[in-house]
Each structure stands twice: as structure tokens, then as C-alpha cells.
């Protein structure tokens, strides 16, 4: 089974400080699982996962998140 996900920031609130203050960050990850069956047929299973994170900060210089 192979999993691949992508994350997209939908809402963020910026402050004039060095860090970006995020009160509510919503990540939507689309995970597509490929299952190899015994008869050689690949079955694709797609699922949408929504993550809500609170109180995170994003370093503008590196782009990394800290929670």
C-alpha cells in the first residue's frame, strides 16, 4: 500500500512580527491508497482528511510550522 498526501493552508492570519500567527489553520490532505490485489488488479481508495490546528506559528524565513 502506498500513501501520498498533500497539504494546503486555507486560512491564516498574519501579524507584523517576525512570525506568522495562526489562530486556526486548516489542512486538507487527500490520501490515495493503492492496494495491490492478488489477481493483479490495483484498487484505488481515496479519502479526504481535514486537520484543524490551533495556536501555530510559521517562521517566515524558513516556512516551517511550530505548534
Grouping H, G, I as helix, E, B as strand and the rest as coil, residue 14 is coil
Task: Give the pLDDT of residue 18.
Answer: 47
Residue 29 domain-assigned (yes or no): yes
φ/ψ of 54, rounded to 5, equals -120, 140
**Closest listed residue to residue 24, CA positions, set 50, 60, 63:** 50
Which residues form the domain of 27?
19-66
Can you give the pLDDT at residue 10?
Answer: 45
Give the per-residue pLDDT at 30: 60
- Residue 44 in domain: yes
Q: Which among 50, 42, 48 has a CA at the least distance from the CA of 1?
A: 42
- Express each pLDDT in 14-63 by its tens digit: 444 444 444 555 555 565 666 666 666 666 565 555 555 555 556 666 66
Residue 62, domain member (yes or no) = yes
Separation between Cα atoms, residue 36 and residue 61, nearest integer Å? 42
Report yes or no on 5 lying in a domain: no
pTM: 0.19
pLDDT value of residue 65: 59
Q: Which set of grid coordinates corresponds to residue 60?
A: 517566515
Number of domains within the chain: 1
Amino acid at each position: 500500500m502506498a500513501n501520498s498526501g498533500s497539504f494546503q493552508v486555507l486560512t491564516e492570519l498574519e501579524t507584523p512580527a517576525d512570525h506568522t500567527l495562526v489562530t486556526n489553520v486548516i489542512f486538507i490532505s487527500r490520501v490515495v491508497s493503492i492496494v495491490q490485489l492478488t489477481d493483479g488488479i490495483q484498487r484505488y481508495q481515496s479519502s479526504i482528511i481535514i486537520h484543524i490546528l490551533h495556536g501555530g506559528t510559521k517562521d517566515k524565513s524558513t516556512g516551517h510550522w511550530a505548534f
